[in-house]
Structure 1
Amino acid sequence: MSSEVFSHDADVGMNGELTYSIKTGDGRKNRFKIHPKTGQIYTTEPLTSGKTFDLMVRARDRGRPQMTGTTRVLVRAVQVPQASPSPPTITPPPPAHLTDTDQPGHVVTFVSAHDPDNDTLWYYITEGDDEGRFSVGVDSGVVTLARRLSPLDQTQYSLTITATDGIHTAATKVVVTVAGVEQRPVFSAPVYEANVREDAAQGSSVLTLQCRLPNHPPSTLYYTLHHTHALASASLFTLDSSSGTLKIAQPLDREVSGVHELTVSCRTLGRREVADFSRARVTVIDTNDHDPTFLESMFSVKDASGRKVTEVLNCDLAQ
């Protein structure tokens, strides 16, 4: 098992060069180690399922005087399935483009995998990143920048991202190109939120995204629905590529899913696409669309004493 932390230091040169260490917590008992340069945390022994481990990680620069920062990392051990009939599948992401001004934490792309057995999936970078310049969310598939890049060092990276359910694995390639200073589009918010009634008509507008590229007209940008947290959400919404308006594509049902988490992208038109990402969180508001239902179709009671011998219960799914 491994995970990764990264820190950003606005200084340059040795003042901005960071090393990582585990300061306190369970890592002091040698259960965990951290790579001093990349911030990758890994286990040194098997973990017990269901246990949570608390680590305090420190980042220290090489300046004079030395400056430090700390963060807390909670590691939860989960059970690996004993059997899994079907392997996961991965949708290959489009090529990604970065600039030498992109900071650590910048979203590179999203890797989306699906498991027919609904097993929990974990994501790892297994090839192409020996120097730890990238990071992937172990449980999300979000690929981010861990260290600033320079086209003078390398202009292209080919990362292998692997998804596993603990038994089967699937892999895909992510090609990342690095260029010099270049403007990129920027969303007006990291998260957009909207409420919509579950009886809203198909084609109804939910929200409109806003993205701009300095000194360029809106016509040079286009929007895409990049990823959904739940697979079923992908077919319920459409995103207008020109206006950025999110619309209802199919009827919603709050009793099936009350919140939909969508990842959207804003990209430049042209041979070299540059993108920004944001999230849209849609909350479905309940309407009274279910009749009360008795838990039994017929009740039969026989008692001559007059005492209460039964209770009539019903259920309303709209609660």
Structure 2
Amino acid sequence: MSAVSFQNVSKTYITPRGEFQALKGVTFDIEPGEFFGLLGPNGAGKTTLISILAGLVRASGGRVSVHGADVQADYAQARRRLGVVPQELVFDPFFTVREALRFQSGYFGIRDNGDWIDELLDGLGLADKAGANMRQLSGGMKRRVLVAQALVHRPPVIVLDEPTAGVDVELRQTLWQFVSKLNKQGSTVLLTTHYLEEAEALCGRIAMLKQGQVIALEKTSELLRRASAKVLRFKTDNPLPEALAAQARVTGRFVQLPVHDAAEVERLLAAVREAGLVVEDIEVSKADLEDVFLDLMTGQGATPPAQEALA
């Protein structure tokens, strides 16, 4: 039995401008114990899909289940098996951190949950904030509490919707250490993130959404294998000539160009010299998940998902 199953899920919103189809027949399964990534640009449908999974939005068509429990027909069981960390910072300003976790335990009918609450507080670096009022916490600390609230009933499936957006490096490391530990102990993790290096490092399999449709669904290693073999990277303060700019990915001073062999590297470097660019820190390295993502989103490398993955 799959930990999470999306079968032909669609969602249409009625707007003042007419109908908007946010999801179009999304189908894939997440197996128990997987660390699974769901990626896509803003507006691709990721949050809508997670909202349907959490029971916050009703799908227009299709079926979603958590360990066999339908999220609409058997909502109570599906919700008990799911822990969701939302993007937004939502908290009750009248409780301390420990009180918030005790009340959250009560929502699921769990009594005498103190030992697990203590473990969550310690594992997420919240032990010294247990008696602090939620209003007194920084944004990063509030996000840690959201993670603890999602885990307080020990759900077998953990959904992290942009959990590290706008947080510091320490929180990222603390969060990933704790979640990775739970994953190794058997928890299933579904992650959405715009930090693609996180997805590359953590996720064994990834689905990519574009305009409400799955355009890639493979093991992370296979996605990387399909990428351009190498990339040429360097820094420059000079504007690129039009011919190079058309194929380059530029981030501040950093320029990245796809290459496939030594002859192409030499051709590009010759073009750089002819343009009179002053460059530094030249290197040739393997393409990463961000390269794959951009290729797929621009339609240059898009391939249909593997059929066996959709079975």
TM-score w.r.t. length of structure 2: 0.22
If each structure's strand is expressed as a fraction of its own residues, which one has the higher value? Answer: 1
**Higher RCO (Cα < 8 Å, 6 or more apart):** 2
Higher relative helix content: 2
Structure with higher Rg: it is 1
Using the size of structure 1 for normalisation, the TM-score is 0.22
